[in-house]
Amino acid sequence: MSIAILDYGCGNLRSVAKAFEHIGARAEITDDPEKARGADGIVLPGVGAFSHAMRLLNQSGLDAALRHAIAANKPTLGICLGMQMLMAQSEEDGVYDGLAFFPARVTRFPASSGKVPHMGWNSIEPRADVPLFYGLTGAPYVYFVHSYRVADVSCEWTAATARYGGEFTAAVWRGNLFGTQFHPEKSGEAGLAMLRNFAALTRGDQPTYEKERAVC
């Protein structure tokens, strides 16, 4: 298998799989940790509550496959709640530990942001050097659905930002580990371009490397 879409009981699996199918990429939904370990790339989707998703992931055994992929610098993509799970902690309905690949905390949008959840199309400001965004120009519009966000990721790891009641992190990047708070599979041509770039990374068609430290 080329790309493993992790089925741990808490993800929007079919829409992600169909998006990869649409662009002609080999991707398979799996709940088998050994299959996931053998994949060239990993996608961690997620919907719902942070603590529930973390519990299911840990119980599934797929957390070990995910950590193995990241340690091996395999292309890995967390989507929406999947991105939030890559952080150190979340304050959703309490304080819960995440996977801690990024030293940041997930917090609720402040009341001053307006209507919560933040739902619908919004533009992002991507960094030009991020492999996930190769070929994209300007400030593309992407699709968000979330009540919690990450606002304290160091610029060292911030791949894109967006604004809704202030600036927040829309995407993260560390080596071949990526996370998007938005749903690329629901984000039209811009989102499909990102998934094409991710698939190209899993095939070795784009260079894979450790990201240099950003100038903050």
* CATH assignment of the domain containing 35: 3.40.50.880
Q: Where in the sequence is the domain holding 30, given as residue range(s)?
A: 3-203
**DSSP bridge partners of 27:** 3
Domain assignment present for 182: yes
Total domains, the chain: 1
Instruction: Flag whether 111 is in a domain.
Output: yes
pLDDT of residue 210: 47
- Cβ distance 203 to 2 under 8 Å? yes
81 within a domain of the structure (yes/no): yes
Residues with a known catalytic role = 80, 183, 185
Contact indicator for 61, 36 with CB cutoff of 8 Å: no
Domain annotation covers residue 211:
no
98 touches 106 (CB < 8 A)? yes
Residues near 14 by Cβ (< 8 Å), separated by ≥ 6? Answer: 29
| Inside any domain, residue 209 | no
**pLDDT, tens only, 164-208:** 989 999 999 999 999 999 999 999 999 999 999 999 999 987 655
Residues 6+ apart with CB under 8 A from 183: 12, 15, 79, 80, 142, 143, 144, 145, 191
Where does the pLDDT of residue 215 fall: very low under 50, low under 70, confident under 90, or very high at 90 and above? low
- Mean of pLDDT values over 59-74: 96
Determine the average pLDDT of the residues in 7-20.
93
Distances (CA, A) of 58 to 21, 33, 65, 93, 178: 28, 11, 11, 19, 20
216 part of a folded domain:
no
Residue pLDDT, tens place only, 105-140 = 999 998 888 888 999 999 999 998 899 999 999 999
Flag whether 180 is in a domain. Answer: yes
Does 14 reside within a domain?
Answer: yes
